[in-house]
Chain A
Amino acid sequence: MGRICDRAATALLWLAGAFIVALLVYFLGYIFIRGLPVLDLGFIFGLPRELGTGGGVGPQLFNSFYILALSLLFSLPVGVGAGIYLAEYARPSRLTRAIRLSTECLATVPSIVLGLFGMIVFVNLFGWGLCILAGAATLALLNLPVLVRVTEEALRAVPRSYREGSLALGATRWQTVRRVVIPAAAVGIVTGVTLVAGRALGEAAVLIFTAGMSVSRFFPDPNPFAAGETLAVHLWYVNAEALVPDAARIAAGSAALLVLVVLCFNLLVGLPGRLVQRRLTGK
């Protein structure tokens, strides 16, 4: 009886694992089979059109990366810093708990609300207008709580004995953090940043209200005050409002390109992470 149960359960668990992978393969296959044929140089680097077929997504692709990079520039130091504080310095107190609680609840605020907040603060109050900078700043708010949590978790996963060893050798706390804890947690942090980046690349709701839905006439245009429609926003726009006759084609292509970019990003950032780990752990 126990044997049969065991066999059945094993089969079921294998099935669950296979099903999850199959689901992903199906999703990716669906996206790529429809989208990949659209992807050629003219589409990836071309300029979008409002009339007639054959529009490309070059500026949107550029803006996606540009906004992502700027938003990480804003949020990475602060988010990692706050994560280090929570994991290494903060003593359990009411204040610490309040900080942690507030970051966690920021993580669950629907992104559209952050978008409106960004619109009122950056676009209106600071007078930046709808532009790449305002979008990046708002996106940074979205990234912040995740970065804090990811950093804190990665640091906490480092065994206490590492720190004790370092401190016992007379190192200061900062030396311990910099030389011992962060290298050991680097892979975790990098993985977390990759996930944040993937999410940010796919984010649309926040940017509609802050970065605008048009692109600069130049491509590429590094001016942070230029209009900053990204690929995800463009996907939404093409699905919802575009008048061009080949909207479905452009939507399929944008979706495939977006997923492809996230995939590459995971690979590119994930690989060095693994190498660093190998070097650090000596395997």
Chain B
Amino acid sequence: MTRVSKRDGYAKRQWFYDRFFRSLFVLSAAFVTLVVVAIIIFLARQGLSTFREVSPLVFHFSTRWAPPEHFGALTFIFGSVAVTGLAVLIGGPLGLAGAVFMAKLAPAWARSIMRPATDLFVGIPSVVYGWIGLSVFRPVIQEYAGGAGFGLFLAGIILAIMILPTVISVSEDALRALPLRFEMASYALGATRWQTIWRVLLPAALPGLVTAIILAMARAIGETMAVSMLIGNSPLFPRSLFVPTATLTTEIVLEMGNTPFGSTWNNALFYMAFILLVISLALIGIIRFVIQRRAVYGQDM
């Protein structure tokens, strides 16, 4: 009798703990969401009030940025997209190659160097990346392209290095997650290692690789300090990769502290932050879509 009631108490207690921690976790999740929603509302409210005084058409499609009279932000939107594209173009293939190397080629000793190395890339603060870009890469560009060296190219190269860890770690995971039998079957058919990688492994891991690239894009488009040190920050639509221009983030960091809160100018900056949010939402949407397809694909196997 007593033993049963003891066990009853134990079960009750466990049941209580279960409930208690469950609600604790729900509360944390709710809190996180609350914070995010608060920030989004804050951004949207400040940002959208820009359009009390500025036509959305002008804001999105004009390149003439001359506040407080004219607010055309196309240059910044284009700058953000261009510098991100450039970073992915340079850093994507390099990172993918690194991931393939790590997942399929590297002997244990090489892997034990490369894994902490990619983590360390994350540990270098972005101000330091900017500083290295200024003092190491800029003189080289000045030499070969002339001009001041600031511009999309300089920022793109440093960003390409900054996104390497994201590309490498996510796509390496995707390659590792592939079942060994894919590889075995390919080798059994007499394929070389490269043919196996190129024809079998990469296509099979494609959704994961796409996710890696998109995550890297999200990282690149939100980067602020390093880019603002390197891009030249001129609100001028770039005619080449080697002239100063600006991105959404650099314009925000440049003007935020000096524009009166609540003014149209300041609101326009908040709207730019809102655009960034929408772009990253879109990127996340794409990742979702890709992963969903992978799930279906995986079941078919």
Q: Which residues of A contact B (CB under 8 A)?
A: 2-3, 5-6, 8-10, 12-14, 16-17, 19-21, 23-24, 27-28, 30-31, 77-82, 84-86, 88-90, 98-99, 101-114, 116-117, 120, 141, 144-145, 148, 172-175, 177-178, 194-195, 198-199, 201-205, 209, 232, 235-236, 239, 251, 255, 258-259, 262-263, 265-266, 270
> Shortest CB–CB separation between residue A148 and chain B, in angstroms?
6
Residues of B within 8 A of A178 (CB): 21
Q: Mark B204-234, 1 if CB is under 8 A from A, else 0.
A: 0000000000000011011011000000000
Find chain B residues with CB under 8 A from A13 CB: 97, 100-101, 105
Known: A20-B117, A30-B136, A204-B125. A2 touches B17 (CB 8 A): no
Q: Which of the residues A12, A85, A195 comes within 8 Å of B26, measured between beta carbons? A: A85
CB-defined A-B contacts under 8 Å, sample of 22: A10-B194, A13-B105, A16-B97, A23-B164, A27-B161, A31-B124, A79-B28, A81-B24, A85-B25, A103-B36, A105-B277, A108-B219, A109-B43, A172-B14, A198-B123, A202-B125, A239-B127, A239-B131, A255-B128, A262-B125, A263-B123, A266-B120
Are the C-beta atoms of B17 and A174 separated by less than 8 Å? yes
The complex places the Cα of A16 from the Cα of B122 at a distance, in Å, of 19
Q: A145 to B33: give the CA distance in the assembly, Å.
A: 10
Judging by beta carbons under 8 Å apart, are A173 and B284 in contact?
A: no
CB-nearest residue of chain A to B22? A89
B39 in contact with A89 (CB, 8 Å): no
In the assembled complex, the Cα of A177 lies from the Cα of B249 at a distance in Å of 40
Residues from chain B with a CB closer than 8 A to the CB of A266 are 116, 119-120, 123
Q: Which of B243-283 contact A (CB under 8 A)?
A: 249, 252-253, 256-257, 270, 273, 276-277, 280-281, 283
Given A5-B192, A81-B27; A14-B126 close (CB under 8 Å): no
Chain A residues near B105 (CB, 8 Å)?
Answer: 10, 13-14, 17
Interface residues of B in 176-198 (CB under 8 A from A): 191-195, 197-198
Could you say which residues of chain A place their CB within 8 Å of the CB of B281?
101, 105
Docked complex Cα distance between A194 and B123 (Å): 9
Expressed in whole angstroms, the minimum distance between the Cβ of A135 and any Cβ of chain B is 16
Q: Which residues of A have CB within 8 Å of B149?
A: none
A21-B117, A30-B136, A251-B131 are contacts. A195–B122 as well, Cβ < 8 Å?
yes
Asked if residues A236 and B37 are in contact (CB atoms below 8 Å), the reply is: no
Whether the pair A90, B123 counts as a contact (CB closer than 8 A) is no
**Are A110 and B128 in contact, with the CB atoms below 8 A?**
no
- The number of residue pairs between A and B whose CB atoms lie closer than 8 Å in the complex comes to 237
Whether A102 pairs with B33 at a CB distance below 8 angstroms is: yes
Please tell me if the beta carbons of A205 and B253 are within 8 angstroms of each other in the complex.
yes
Asked whether B121 is an interface residue with its Cβ less than 8 Å from the other chain, the reply is yes
Cβ of B102 < 8 Å from any Cβ of A?
Answer: yes
B249 touches A110 (CB 8 A): yes
CB distance A108 to B280 under 8 Å?
A: yes
Identity of the chain A residue whose Cβ is nearest the Cβ of B126 in the assembled complex: A202
Tell me which residues across on chain A come within 8 A of B219, comparing CB atoms: 108
B225 contacts which of A90, A114, A205 (Cβ < 8 Å)?
Answer: A205
The answer for the CA separation of A90 and B30 in the assembled complex, in Å, is 12
Chain B stretch 103-124: residues in CB contact (< 8 A) with chain A: 105-106, 110, 113-114, 116-124
B61 in the interface, Cβ–Cβ < 8 Å?
no
Q: What is the bound-complex CA distance between A184 and B236, given in angstroms?
A: 53
Which residues on the A side are within 8 Å of B51 (C-beta)?
Answer: none
**Do A259 and B124 contact each other (CB < 8 Å), given the known contacts A89-B26, A109-B39?**
yes
Whether B224 contacts A117 by the Cβ 8 Å rule is: no
**How would residues 280 to 301 of chain B score, 1 for a CB under 8 Å from any chain A CB and 0 otherwise?**
1101100000000000000000
Decide: B15 and A172 in contact? CB cutoff 8 A. Answer: yes
List residues of chain A with CB within 8 A of the CB of B225: 204-205, 236
B224 touches A258 (CB 8 A): no
Bound-state CA distance A114–B276 (Å) is: 13
